[in-house]
């Protein structure tokens, strides 16, 4: 808050409290010469009394003034003055988070030395992991882990980066950033791209013209095999996906594959280690294993 607005709020607040006191003072005393009626008269003899507020009622008002002064001294309220207690919403939130962290740390600590498969078999562990997944993973991988266009399905047994415990811990803890550069120019021309598309589709048994696919195989070997492997089964070191199975991140239609080749593809999995800590990353790796029904080899 800039100091102008801070003083603006301070002056306004203090003036309000002062005005409240003045208003009460002004209404409890009769001005000299005033009578106990207001002077209004209706129907000949109906008069309005001018009585001060009852004492107990008045005292309540003063109590609220005293309360407000106390509150504004102890807690933030007067512009950027933080209050003598130093209390803040953020501070309270952080305190509660720290308390929760301490409470749950013991629960997560026991996963430190455990095999992923053993954690995956622990129902309490998987329930906790399911909650974390909903909070931190589902927005990208889907609440059921089946992914979406560009976001891998974690429930199948196709792995871009591998499913060994180390690979999973690295995927989740450090994040991943698979990148395929645009390859259109390297393949060389529209027709050549059509051939490579046909070859890629033929690899997983999708409909493709046989002569085109055969021509595409040559081009694949020179341009694509370096990353996707000579048999197109992928390379987990580079995050190059297996192109021979029926698992597709970006789609298997002629248009989708063409787009992948011409424009390249890339996406990022954000690192989770800082936010979750090692024990919970381990728990999540076990959860992903359990989702895929894999044993982790």
Q: Which residues bind ligand HEC (CB under 6 A)?
A: 136-137, 139-141, 151-152, 154, 159-161, 168, 171-172, 176-181, 183, 187, 196, 200, 223-224, 226-228, 238-241, 243, 248-250, 257, 260-261, 265-270, 272, 284, 288
Give the residue with the Cβ less far from ligand HEC, 215 or 240: 240
Min CB(122)–ligand HEC separation in Å: 17
Place of tokens 């999973």: 168
Min CB(78)–ligand HEC separation in Å: 41
For residues 112 and 280, what is the distance between their CA atoms, to the nearest angstrom? Answer: 9
Give the residue with the Cβ less far from ligand HEC, 61 or 258: 258
Give the residue with the Cβ less far from ligand HEC, 116 or 180: 180
Give the residue with the Cβ less far from ligand HEC, 24 or 117: 117
Min CB(175)–ligand HEC separation in Å: 8
Identify the CA nearest to 223 among candidates 195, 254, 253: 195
Min CB(285)–ligand HEC separation in Å: 7
- The token pair at 32 is 């000299």
Residue nearest to ligand HEC (CB): 178
Give the residue with the Cβ less far from ligand HEC, 79 or 282: 282
Give the residue with the Cβ less far from ligand HEC, 13 or 155: 155
CA distances from 79 to 9, 11, 12, 153 (A): 5, 9, 10, 51
Give the residue with the Cβ less far from ligand HEC, 20 or 238: 238
For residues 69 and 144, what is the distance between their CA atoms, to the nearest angstrom? Answer: 54
Min CB(113)–ligand HEC separation in Å: 20
Question: Cβ contacts of residue 69 below 8 Å, gap of 6+?
Answer: 17
Min CB(98)–ligand HEC separation in Å: 21
Min CB(145)–ligand HEC separation in Å: 9
* Farthest-apart Cα atoms in the chain, separation: 115
For residues 242 and 248, what is the distance between their CA atoms, to the nearest angstrom? Answer: 9
Q: Do 29 and 4 contact (CB within 8 A), yes or no? A: no
For residues 205 and 244, what is the distance between their CA atoms, to the nearest angstrom? Answer: 8
Identify the CA nearest to 190 among candidates 216, 211, 227: 216
Q: Do 120 and 289 contact (CB within 8 A), yes or no? A: yes
């Amino acid at each position: 808050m800039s100091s102008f607005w801070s003083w603006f709020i301070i002056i306004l607040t203090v003036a309000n409290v002062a005005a409240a006191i003045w208003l009460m003072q002004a209404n409890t005393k009769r001005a000299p010469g005033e009578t106990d009626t207001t002077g209004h008269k209706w129907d000949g003899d109906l008069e309005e009394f001018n009585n001060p507020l009852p004492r107990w009622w008045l005292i309540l008002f003063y109590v609220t003034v005293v309360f407000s002064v106390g509150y504004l001294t102890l807690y933030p309220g007067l512009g950027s003055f933080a209050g003598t207690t130093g209390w803040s919403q953020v501070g309270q939130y952080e305190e509660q988070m720290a308390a929760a962290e301490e409470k749950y740390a013991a629960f997560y600590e026991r996963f430190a030395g455990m095999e992923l498969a053993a954690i995956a078999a622990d129902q309490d562990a998987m329930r906790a992991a399911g909650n974390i997944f909903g909070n931190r993973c589902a927005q990208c991988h889907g609440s059921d882990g089946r992914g979406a266009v560009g976001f891998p399905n974690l429930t199948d047994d196709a792995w871009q980066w591998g499913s060994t415990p180390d690979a999973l811990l690295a995927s989740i803890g450090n994040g991943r950033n698979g990148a395929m550069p645009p390859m259109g120019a390297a393949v060389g021309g529209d027709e050549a791209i059509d051939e490579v598309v046909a070859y890629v589709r033929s690899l997983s048994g999708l409909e493709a013209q046989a002569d085109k696919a055969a021509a595409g195989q040559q081009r694949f070997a020179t341009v694509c095999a370096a990353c996707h492997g000579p048999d197109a089964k992928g390379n987990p070191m580079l995050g190059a996906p297996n192109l021979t199975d029926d698992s597709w991140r970006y789609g298997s239609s002629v248009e989708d594959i063409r787009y992948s080749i011409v424009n390249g593809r890339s996406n990022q999995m954000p690192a989770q280690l800082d936010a979750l800590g090692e024990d919970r990353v381990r728990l999540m790796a076990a959860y992903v294993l359990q989702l895929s029904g894999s044993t982790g080899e």
